[in-house]
């Protein structure tokens, strides 16, 4: 039951927002009493914390599975993007903004976890790209890995990129192309062009 609550609450938070979804809404959607939810979670804040960690862990596991295949690092990034979009179901609300506004401590904790995970992942990706001569040998891996993380965070800012102007899928496509074109060799650019043709 706990996992069912986490799945449904996560889906509702992504689509409707952390603020607007109530415990009553979640109970009604699952078809249980609110009391049942409270046997697993102390309050809504506790549920939000557990949901964000649950979603984070699921996404990390999926990215790790892609990572373990050790594919071409450019293709790997496109596959990770597709996985994340599919997992988040092209979120219709602005969950990051709402999480930051209404649950700042949870937001801060999850951002730190995201940073630590992404740093390891993207640095390994960059190094493989260098080894395969897909990325320019003049890039600074530490700098690029941090810029990549903060760029990925920034495109989720609903004030900078309103959902009525940009879909999450479109933003990730544009940002990934922007990131890769800035670091790729001519050999890498050929791989990007092929990937872009496949997603159009």
User: Which pLDDT does position 166 carry in this prediction?
Assistant: 87
- Kindly report, residue by residue over 88-118, the tens digit of the pLDDT: 765 555 677 889 899 999 999 999 999 999 9
CB 53 within 8 A of CB 14: no
Domain ranges (residues) in the chain:
43-199
How far apart CA 87 and CA 30 sit, in angstroms, is 20
SS (H, E, C) 130-181: HHCCCECCCCCHHHHHHHHHHHHHHCCCCCCCCCCCCCHHHHHHHHHHHHHH
Asked if residue 14 lies in contact with residue 56, where contact means CB atoms within 8 angstroms, the answer is no
pLDDT of residue 89: 64
Task: Give pLDDT, residue 15.
Answer: 86
pLDDT for 62 equals 94
Instruction: Please tell me the predicted confidence (pLDDT) of residue 91.
Output: 56
Which residues of the chain have a pLDDT value below 70? 89-94, 200
Q: Which of the following CATH numbers is that of domain 43-199: 1.10.357.10, 3.30.2290.10, 2.30.110.10, 1.10.3720.10?
A: 1.10.357.10
Per-residue confidence (pLDDT) for residue 200, from 0 to 100:
65
For residue range 33-60, list pLDDT tens digits in order: 999 999 999 999 999 999 999 999 999 9
pLDDT at 95: 78
Residue 163: the pLDDT is 80
Number of H helices, E strands in the chain: 10, 0
Q: Which residue from 117, 139, 120, 122 is spatially nearest to 185, judged by alpha carbons?
A: 139
User: pTM for the full model?
Assistant: 0.87
């Amino acid at each position: 039951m706990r996992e069912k609550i986490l799945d449904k609450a996560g889906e509702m938070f992504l689509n409707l927002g952390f603020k607007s979804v109530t415990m009553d809404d979640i109970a009604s959607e699952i078809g249980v009493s609110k009391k049942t939810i409270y046997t697993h979670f102390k309050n809504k804040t506790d549920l939000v914390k557990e949901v964000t960690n649950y979603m984070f862990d699921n996404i990390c596991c999926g990215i790790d599975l892609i990572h373990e295949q050790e594919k071409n690092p450019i293709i790997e990034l496109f596959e990770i993007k597709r996985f994340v979009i599919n997992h988040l179901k092209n979120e219709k609300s602005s969950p990051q903004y709402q999480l930051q506004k209404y649950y700042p401590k949870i937001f801060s904790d999850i951002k730190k976890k995201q940073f630590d995970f992404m740093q390891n992942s993207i640095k390994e990706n960059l190094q493989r790209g260098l080894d395969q001569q897909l990325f320019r040998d003049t890039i600074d891996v530490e700098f690029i890995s941090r810029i990549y993380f903060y760029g990925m965070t920034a495109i989720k800012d609903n004030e900078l990129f309103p959902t009525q102007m940009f879909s999450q899928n479109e933003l990730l496509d544009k940002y990934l192309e922007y990131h890769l074109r800035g670091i790729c060799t001519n050999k890498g650019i050929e791989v990007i062009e092929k990937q872009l043709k496949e997603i159009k």
